[in-house]
Structure 1
């Protein structure tokens, strides 16, 4: 219900300027005492006279074009709809938490920000008990020391002779180049895999399927007989064939522009069962995204496939490859 109300407000709200709510008795856009944002949710501290709860507020959601072509940006504004006319003295206000998916219906790949202003501490106020340090202490007795997080290193790659260029992660294992084989097949490609993410199970050594990034150019008359149109027709057949299946989920294709070219994005998940000898079977969900880009002649394919449990942590690497992609044909 909350998600429906938020979406309704997002698209049908009044265009009039929102009034301000500097205190619990005023309705309008809330002046926050504190705000902490994180993966999948955020927490705010607001003033209270004793009768303020989550139901006292609406969150207005404004969807905008994102930083990247495949991830929209959401601007969130917290608005007090119910004044707090109670008489209690609540010096530290109340802390309210929101889950983006469950409360606001925001899921998938996205970025978000909170537009409300945050006030400075009141003069002589004791903020040592504020929830930003306190909630971390309450959530875990042994808080791990922060570790340095460095961005994935990339290097520029160009498919010879001048088919396309993009950034590729240097820490991923790259398939050996085969210019002669590529020329015979009419498919000029590079493939990378990420190692070291899974461990052996059941005392038996095996290799769990690895995340894979693929970038390729399909020239006219390629050995597989593929074109932009029949590549998408093949996907459409899979989508219709597996409709209603509990072993797969094929999403409807989405049109967009990649590097100034017409492109189609497809996403799917498929249940996999791979035998590991007579006694054991590796079972997992394979998740994939394919981006098919029109060329002046032929077409391009950029793909990311991974066991679902490793998908989110490795998808940003593929997004960097996609954002840097420059077609030459």
Structure 2
């Protein structure tokens, strides 16, 4: 699956969207080798606050230390792989394995191991949880499992400057909405990455965005779709809509006064969950914006779910392989597919 120029590009073949073997490979070569959004800073504000997540096949624990430094570890005890936490929590003083009670400091150092006094050459002080890379950005928290993943600032380069004067770090978390969808995770990402379907799938959204001025820009690890807003009224006011997709499965939908983060999480070869977290600027229009946004956002998501599930059925039908991409409207899809092709190639050569 070699990358080709945009004007001669094809989509990924249907076989990339079906079968557990494909997903198994992607868990190791795509999800475990990228920066993953795991939390927002409000969940980790004070020492002992912690969040439990999963990246690929790795259970992950993110915790704010007594020194107020944010750290991430595999949520796996060094004794016999028990979990250090079962759910998100606040104000923990230590991390205690739920299997045999081995206890670690919030900084990952083993502090006690019950009844291990008779173990030869066993020293509590020699055992630490292996650290993972963690990064706080604009009120969001990210973790990477692999030291070879590019630096966070390289992956997210230029976003803050491009959206100014919008300041994401001042927005406050409001709510989460989750949707379980009967499609491969890439079907949902593909759909997000192009405005080609707007006139056919999203009549309401098409009235909000200027399709003639809809533009796509490509960067090393992300793409941006943007459009001037029109007739946005109480929902968003005047300005521009920014739709960022950061490889492989993170979206930032940014409008004046509102950030919506999307995480696309595979549940199986032909199922995924999309988590939407909503953040709002705390200004005089906040409550009106929140109320108007809720119904409209749900309408758009239901439209996307219906078309993505239909596309998955088409991919699994045995009648489709890899169609041509529209150079004018599907450059974001081409860019995403080329990043995936590179990951698939690395996996094949390992």
Give me the TM-score of the superposition, normalised by structure 2.
0.21
- Structure number with the bigger relative contact order (C-alpha 8 A, sep ≥ 6) is 2
TM-score normalised by L of structure 1: 0.22
Larger Rg belongs to? 1
Greater strand fraction, Structure 1 or Structure 2: 1
